[in-house]
Amino acid sequence: MILVSGRISAFITLLILCGFILWYIMEARKGRVPKLRRLPALEAIDEAVGRATEMGRPVHVSCGSGGSIRDEWASQVLAGLSVLSYVAELCAEYDTSLIATTPVADNFPIMSEIVREAYRRKNKEESFKPDMVVYVPGYNAASIGIMVERNIAANIMVGPFWHESVILAEVGASLGAIQIGGTATTHQLPFIVASCDYVLIGEEMFAAGAYLSRDPVQIGSIAGMDWGKVLAILLTLFGLLMEAAGFSIIKYLNM
Amino acid sequence: MSIFQRLGRLDPRVFFTLLIFAVAIPIISPLGLPVPITQPVLDAYNYIENLPEGSVVLYSMSVAGGGWDDVGGGVIATMQHLFSRPVKIIIFSYFADSVPWVEYTLNNIDKHGKKYGEDYVWLGYLAGGEAMLAGLASSIRSITTTDAYGTPLDNLPMMKDIDNIHDIDLIVHAEISTIFEAYLRQFQAPYGKPIILICPSMMVTMYFPYYPNQAIGIIGGVRGSAEYELLIHRPGMASVSTDTLSTTHILIIVMIIMGNIGYYFERKIRRGE
Amino acid sequence: MAWYKSREFCQIVTLIVAIIILITYFFDIPGGGEVASHLQAFGTIVSAFALMVGVLNLFQIHLPNLMRKGRYWYTSFIVCASIILWASIAICLGSEHPISRTLYMTVNYPLSGTAYSFTAFYITSAAYRAFRARNIDSFILLTIGTLVILYNTPIANAVFPTFGDIGDWIFAVPNKAGFRGVVIGIALGSVAVGLRTLLGMERGYLRGGG
Amino acid sequence: MPTEELILNLITIYLILGLYSFVFKDNIHYRLVLGVYVGSIAGWSLALQYEYIVRTMSSALSKGQVYYILALILGLMLFFKFSKRHLWVYRIPIAYLVGLGVALSIRAIVSTQFLQQIQATILPIWTPDPWTNINNLIFIIMVISSLWFFTFHFEHKGVSEKIARIGRYTLIAAFGAGFGNTVMFRMSLITGRFRFLLSPNNRIYTVIIALILIVSVAVYEQYIKKK
């Protein structure tokens, strides 16, 4: 059993990154919980659901407008699902009506399971309705129809988004909803940033699940990611120095 | 409320209407505004123009309905260019939706006497996502043993000696979604094969970091397509659309200015209170 | 509770599948690639069934609405009817049949193109709302955004060629640098979410909260 | 234009205009067309997926890969979503999909989105051309600072805060560029639709249908109000 050439450095790096994360998780288990910077977008979720409750209008959650749980977008979908789980719990607690939409059939059953689970945790399983989670083909035109029809008060969109992001966000704005957006599909980030009230930019959304759980062990995993960034910065600087000394490290990165 | 203040609080429907006019007018009477040529498009053109005789090109036609208007011009233009060169072309689709568009493209180009089966092959829609691409690189026959029409690949003269990525000299990939990175992972990173990318204009910013090391040329959206149409001297659907780009973009600039004037006066009055 | 009904069992399924895919990618195991591609093909088949579940959900929502003549009952009726019509035509005749093709070209293609281009409308209103010089952040957004819009305007480019140079610089330097930072961060975030999911710690997936 | 083509074109024009009407007002035509849109996509993809299952299964079985039956069973297990008692069954295929997705999303990302990106950032800053050097230097600083901006655990104070701020501005500049560039894509899509609507053959019908839509919406809303 040998490593495939061209993937050796990637494998080693993956192990190092996992090592960072696991190290911090273990530290957190020992009670040394790292401090995190505030993420206003996540703190705004409570505010958004609270306002929707006061107004008696529903909360809309979207876990992406494409990208399935079974392909390379999975990590973004999972990040969206963790936000959905949190919002569903809040909605169950305050008896706020919730509507979660997805155009991706693969994600639909798991979203529905997550919402049901959140209601069960708050002992409100009887309030869970199958129409809380809706499969919406033709998302770009149909989701806004649902948003207008239900007159939503909060629009939370975290997940892999394509061109639909700006449509959803603008219609949400025209309804006067509080909007929280987050995505790691880079070409949609500009719209989320421009038209939402609160944003999770790229990597921040991956921290969402851990951040919202307030579970020290998961928070540890976020601190682990930071060392990955330090590794990237150091590698760049080291590469530059070596390059100046006439020695190229590039081929080792491609090993 | 003053007129200036009102500029900052316009009903969106006002500019929806203006937008319709900005799009419609150049379509009804074309203005014929000029288009300068950019480097990524020129690189793609030069690479295809200098392909040695007998090269094999794998053409991934993964464009579907929604984005056809943006990248269709580039697809037709590159396909036309390839057909005018002495190369062999293998076409496949990553998405089922792209199938009608492949046929549409092949019907709308001058084939320069190229014969099906000898000079080009259409494999049809190949399911399986990224795993399919990986399979295609190791052996085309592990993914499909027939072409789109059900003819076994071994009965097609040009496919006799072609089976894996090492037999292929260039990959042209046209897409409207974001699957290009999968192509990099499966074709470019492990085997170092050159890829030319045809993508919607909005994806250009996202994919620009990959140019020129990983993607040797990028044809982005209507504008890149119009440039390519100019390069091969066949103005087509993209060239028609470039006029509306000018008018709509100017409309947006005007609106941004109006929004800012409105905002400026609004703030001035609020400060005065 | 029987062991196969437990969440831990699901967790183990996830872990095993993921490990097989990862190991066969990084290690050169004879036949490994084949196993991985079969596993992925299984995934595509399962997701084909997921689509059917999704369509059943559409019926689950629209049929009751139609029965009780709720709001927009006519939409519900058309949804159900067109699903049945399209599916039966395309299944019975095959999606390549001329009638299915005509149906696709008359309805599906223009509608999806139209729905895609909805963005054109909303992008104008987004530009109008967001591009205002409120503070330094939005000033940068406004300036760079406007310059790039001008760069993309064929006529502005032809009249003032400098826009081309400025635009090229924006794409080559700040745009590329910013997105590179984002992309590297996303890679790290994905690894973290993936690891948490495999360890059964990610909140979203089949796990209790907190 | 032959009659069939005319009828098909009229249908298409109605569908396009009906869908567009939403941007001005939520109305009955939008709701009607929406039904067709949702239903046709769902029905069409249902058929494609059905074809896909049949094709994959028959090709697998013909190759003697009997274990593909497992995939079929796994797929069918999803239907237990509609059962209250045996809900656990449908978690298994989901677990399978998640495992697949997680592995696929992390396995190549380290190479393409981490190592290769770092590699592309190691740019020469001592070339004979001073302009390239300056650009490369600015570029490297911007990449590093935008990475720093994303750190969650390290405190942003003093120099660290300044670096993070450069990172923030870089990101915003990148988003501005991204926004500006997307405008073009969207405009080219709307142009495609309008080229169809306003093509010499269709122009007149487009105007007529648009007028009919406006009048009918107005009349219908009056009728609803009276009721």
Instruction: Collect all residues of chain A within an 8 Å Cβ-Cβ radius of residue B203.
Output: 187
Is residue A17 within 8 angstroms of chain C, CB to CB? yes
**Range scoring the smallest mean pLDDT among A55-64, A75-84, B137-146, D133-142:** B137-146
Instruction: Collect all residues of chain A within an 8 Å Cβ-Cβ radius of residue D116.
Output: 253-254
Instruction: Collect all residues of chain D within an 8 Å Cβ-Cβ radius of residue A68.
Output: 97, 101
- Euclidean distance between CA atoms D187 and B165, whole angstroms: 37
According to DSSP, residue B188 is labeled: I
pLDDT at A149 over 70: yes
- Euclidean distance between CA atoms C104 and C81, whole angstroms: 16
For every residue of B154-178, which 3-state class applies, written as one string?
Answer: HHCHHHCCCCCHHHCCEEEEEECCC
pLDDT in tens, D171-193: 999 999 988 887 877 787 788 88
pLDDT in tens, B73-91: 899 999 999 999 999 999 9
* pLDDT over 90, % of chain B: 27
- Euclidean distance between CA atoms D30 and C119, whole angstroms: 16
* pLDDT over 90, % of chain A: 59
Q: Quick one: pLDDT at residue C153?
A: 81
Instruction: Collect all residues of chain A within an 8 Å Cβ-Cβ radius of residue C28.
Output: 1-4
Q: Averaged over D27-31, what is the pLDDT?
A: 94
Q: Quick one: pLDDT at residue A52?
A: 96
Residue in B214, A253, B216 with CA at minimum distance from that of residue D114 = A253
Across B181-193, b (16+ Cβ under 10 Å) vs e yields bbbbbbbbbbeeb
Which residues have a Cβ under 8 Å from the Cβ of A30 and sit 6 or more positions away? none
The contacts found for B15-22 with CB under 8 angstroms, 24 or more apart, are: B15/B251, B15/B255, B15/C124, B15/C125, B15/C128, B16/C121, B16/C124, B16/C125, B16/D23, B16/D24, B18/B251, B18/B255, B19/B248, B19/B251, B19/C120, B19/C121, B19/C124, B19/D190, B20/D194, B22/B244, B22/B247, B22/B248, B22/B250, B22/B251
* Alpha carbon distance, N-terminus to C-terminus of chain D: 43
Instruction: Compare CB distances from A18 to C46, C193, C195 and report the shortest one's residue.
Output: C195
Which residues have a Cβ under 8 Å from the Cβ of D225 and sit 6 or more positions away? none
Q: Quick one: pLDDT at residue B241?
A: 78
- Euclidean distance between CA atoms B18 and B242, whole angstroms: 18
Longest Cα–Cα distance of chain B, Å, equals 84
Interface of B with C in 8-27 (CB under 8 A): 8, 10, 12, 15-16, 19, 23
pLDDT at A95 over 50: yes
- Euclidean distance between CA atoms A58 and A146, whole angstroms: 11
- Euclidean distance between CA atoms D15 and C111, whole angstroms: 7
Q: Quick one: pLDDT at residue B64?
A: 75
Structure tokens at B254: 């005007």
What single letter denotes the amino acid at residue B255?
A: M
Nearest C-alpha of chain B: how many angstroms from C146?
7
What single letter denotes the amino acid at residue B243?
A: D
Q: Quick one: pLDDT at residue A154?
A: 96
- Find out whether A186 and C182 touch, Cβ atoms under 8 Å: yes
pTM (predicted TM-score): 0.85
Residue A159's SS3 state is: coil
- Reported as a pLDDT band with limits 50, 70 and 90, residue C208 is very low
- Find out whether A84 and A46 touch, Cβ atoms under 8 Å: no
pLDDT at C207 over 70: no
**Range scoring the smallest mean pLDDT among B113-117, C202-206, D91-95, D145-149:** C202-206
Which residues have a Cβ under 8 Å from the Cβ of A206 and sit 6 or more positions away? A75, A76, A79, A184, A225, C186, C188, C189, C190, C192, C193
Instruction: Collect all residues of chain A within an 8 Å Cβ-Cβ radius of residue B190.
Output: 6-7
Hey, which residues does B220 pair with through a beta bridge? B199
Chain B neighbours, 3+ Cβ pairs < 8 A: A, C, D
Extents of the domains making up chain C: 7-119, 122-188
* pLDDT over 70, % of chain B: 97
Residue in A170, C150, C169, D182 with CA at minimum distance from that of residue B257 = C150
* pLDDT over 70, % of chain D: 100
- Euclidean distance between CA atoms A134 and C174, whole angstroms: 40
Using the beta-carbon criterion (under 8 Å), do A186 and C61 form an inter-chain contact?
no
From the candidates A77, A197, A221, which should be mutated to test the interface with C, based on the most C CB atoms within 10 A?
A: A221
According to DSSP, residue B53 is labeled: T
Using the beta-carbon criterion (under 8 Å), do A130 and C61 form an inter-chain contact?
yes
Sign, CA dihedral B80-B82-B83-B88, equals negative
For every residue of A198-216, which 3-state class applies, written as one string?
Answer: EEEECHHHHHHHHHHHCCH
pLDDT in tens, A18-70: 999 999 999 988 988 888 888 899 999 999 999 999 999 999 999 998 888 88
Q: Quick one: pLDDT at residue A234?
A: 95
Residue linked to tokens 């009477």 = B29
A16 alpha carbon, distance to own chain's centre: 23
Nearest C-alpha of chain D: how many angstroms from C210?
20
- B212 preceded by a cis bond (ω within 30 of 0): yes
* pLDDT over 70, % of chain C: 96
Pairing of strands C27-28, A2-3: antiparallel
- Euclidean distance between CA atoms C23 and C41, whole angstroms: 17
- Reported as a pLDDT band with limits 50, 70 and 90, residue C205 is low
* Alpha carbon distance, N-terminus to C-terminus of chain A: 17
pLDDT at C210 over 70: no
Nearest C-alpha of chain D: how many angstroms from A2?
17
Nearest C-alpha of chain C: how many angstroms from A54?
24
Residue in B84, B45, B82, B40 with CA at minimum distance from that of residue B60 = B82
Instruction: Collect all residues of chain B within an 8 Å Cβ-Cβ radius of residue D52.
Output: 96, 127
CA within 13 Å, CB half, B14? 12
Residue linked to tokens 């792209």 = B98
Q: Phi/psi at B211 (nearest 5 deg)?
A: -100, 140
Q: Quick one: pLDDT at residue C209?
A: 37
Q: Quick one: pLDDT at residue B273?
A: 62
Residue B111's SS3 state is: coil
Instruction: Compare CB distances from A2 to C28, C125, C131 and report the shortest one's residue.
Output: C28
Residue in B76, B79, B103, B175 with CA at minimum distance from that of residue B133 = B175
Sign, CA dihedral C197-C200-C203-C204, equals positive
Q: Quick one: pLDDT at residue B43?
A: 93
Q: Quick one: pLDDT at residue D188?
A: 76
- Reported as a pLDDT band with limits 50, 70 and 90, residue B66 is low
